[in-house]
Amino acid sequence: MSEHTTRTYERFPLARRIEHLVMLLSFTTLGLTGLPQKYPSSGISIAFVNLLGGIENLRTIHHFAAVVMMVGTAWHLLVFGYMAYVRRTRLSMLPSLQDIKDGWQALMYNLGFAKTFPQMGRYTFEEKMEYWAFAWGAIVMGATGFMMWNPISTAKFLPGEVIPAAKAAHGGEAVLAVLAIIIWHMYGVHIKRLNKSMFTGKMSEEVMLHEHPLELADIKAGIADRPVEPVVLRKRQRIYLPIAILLALFMLSGIYGFVNAEDTALTTIERQAPTVEVFVPQTLTPAPTQTATLPATETLLPVSSPTGTQPSADSTPATASSALTWDNSIGAMLQAKCAACHGAGALGGLNLSTYADAMNGGASGPIIIPGDGENSLLVTKQQAGGHPGQLTPEEIAQVIEWINAGALEK
């Protein structure tokens, strides 16, 4: 075994490796629990949701992983500040004009128009692109995630249309991020050269010669690190420590506000629903009727009966019932909007294919409380917005009217 193969150099200390592992686990969890929500009608998504015990459990895990990633991002920023100010480490991850030149030379080399591959330092142009793509993705996912997590607070400052737009952007960015990790990162790091430095902390001299020759030259020349005198180091630490504490408190309070910006009716109803006794009529209840109001100038002409007698003075013309029922409108509307998730697959244990199934509710309990439309789970979930089978405001109003009238079947 050659010296180039056996000799190694430290690339990542233990703290950075732990940070990478935490971000790796949180990202993987977000992908596994987020994609089933973007593609709810997929058989794999339905099976995975059922495996976790329902959509609410999946969303709880997704939210927890999001909080872990936000805390990890905050920690990364604090470490960046320490390395930049206290240690005065070279900011080698910042993009530069040289990265454009390296990228162009690499393209020409791969096409056969350049004789040599570009020599690069601690981070290659590809690694920088990955890093800043992740940073941009974190900003997009954080902003759109807040809008979806806190729709009421969002609607106080922005038009309501931004919430479904945020949902579309959140899902699209998630698919892009997962594909980038699987196709780009996995190949460039773990397949092309099986780079294990993020797990072992060390890189062999052979890999350094291929991937980071300029950094290897600096290490051998003794100019890779900038030593800091202990007195200067302690002085900078005393300055940075209180600033870091304030920044940490500010970011943690931001994360707390992200998670607890609002306590929507959705959470409240889910806690109360299992204790509510739902009344389902055993016999058909007469539907309310609406008597048409005629203009003051019009009068009803008496109509002779087949026997030639006039109708009595207290008789009134029959009017057609205009009450909403499951059979005449509500059932078809819910099946058209909700069948993809709550049909035969019964996502979350909820099946809206028939009236009886709808009245039985799902894993979260009854969703329809006859006579109480505002507090029925079906209504509160729809009013929160961003539902995969989102009803229009007019349709939600019809559902409320139907439930308040007794949630009749026929």
Are residue 206 and residue 346 in the same domain, yes or no?
no
**pLDDT > 50? residue 189:** yes
Q: Is residue 24 part of a domain?
A: yes
Cβ-proximal residues to 344 (8 Å cutoff; 6+ apart), any chain = 351, 353
Q: Is residue 8 part of a domain?
A: yes
Q: Is residue 290 part of a domain?
A: no
Q: Is residue 105 part of a domain?
A: yes
pLDDT interval class at 313 (50, 70, 90)? very low
Query: Mind giving me the DSSP string for 367-380?
Result: S--TT-STT-HHHH
Task: Tell me 362's DSSP state.
Answer: B
Are residue 140 and residue 51 in the same domain, yes or no?
yes
Q: Is residue 257 part of a domain?
A: yes
Q: Is residue 281 part of a domain?
A: no
pLDDT interval class at 96 (50, 70, 90)? very high
Could you tell me if 252 and 75 are in contact, meaning their C-beta atoms sit under 8 angstroms apart? no
Residue 281: what pLDDT? 57
Could you tell me if 376 and 367 are in contact, meaning their C-beta atoms sit under 8 angstroms apart? yes
Are residue 194 and residue 326 in the same domain, yes or no?
no
List, for residues 338-348, the tens digit of each pLDDT value. 877 887 666 77
Residue at a domain's end among 262, 291, 312: 262
Are residue 115 and residue 257 in the same domain, yes or no?
yes
List, for residues 59-77, the tens digit of each pLDDT value. 999 999 999 999 999 999 9
Are residue 336 and residue 363 in the same domain, yes or no?
yes
Provide the residue type at 23 as one letter. M
Residue 321: what pLDDT? 43
Are residue 75 and residue 214 in the same domain, yes or no?
yes
Are residue 339 and residue 222 in the same domain, yes or no?
no
Q: Give the number of other Cβ atoms within 10 Å of residue 335's Cβ.
A: 17
pLDDT interval class at 292 (50, 70, 90)? very low
List, for residues 150-176, the tens digit of each pLDDT value. 888 898 899 988 999 999 999 999 999
Residue 190: what pLDDT? 82
List, for residues 373-410, the tens digit of each pLDDT value. 888 888 888 888 878 778 888 889 988 998 988 889 88
Are residue 236 and residue 349 in the same domain, yes or no?
no
Helix (H, G, I), strand (E, B) or coil at 133: helix
Q: Give the number of other Cβ atoms within 10 Å of residue 239's Cβ.
A: 12
Are residue 241 and residue 328 in the same domain, yes or no?
no
pLDDT interval class at 5 (50, 70, 90)? low
* Verdict on whether the full-model pTM lies above 0.95: no
Residue 34: what pLDDT? 94
**pLDDT > 60? residue 301:** no
Q: Is residue 46 part of a domain?
A: yes
Helical packing angle, 14-38 and 55-81, nearest 10°: 150
Helix (H, G, I), strand (E, B) or coil at 83: helix
**pLDDT > 90? residue 223:** no
Are residue 233 and residue 344 in the same domain, yes or no?
no
- Once rounded to an integer, what is the mean pLDDT over residues 226-249? 93
Question: How large a percentage of the chain has pLDDT more than 90?
Answer: 47
What is the domain range of residue 162?
3-262
Residue at a domain's end among 216, 240, 262: 262
- Once rounded to an integer, what is the mean pLDDT over residues 176-194? 87
The whole-chain average pLDDT of the chain stands at 84
Are residue 209 and residue 122 in the same domain, yes or no?
yes
Counted domains in the chain: 2
Are residue 120 and residue 212 in the same domain, yes or no?
yes
Question: Any idea what the CATH number is for the domain that residue 115 is in?
Answer: 1.20.950.20
Q: Is residue 145 part of a domain?
A: yes
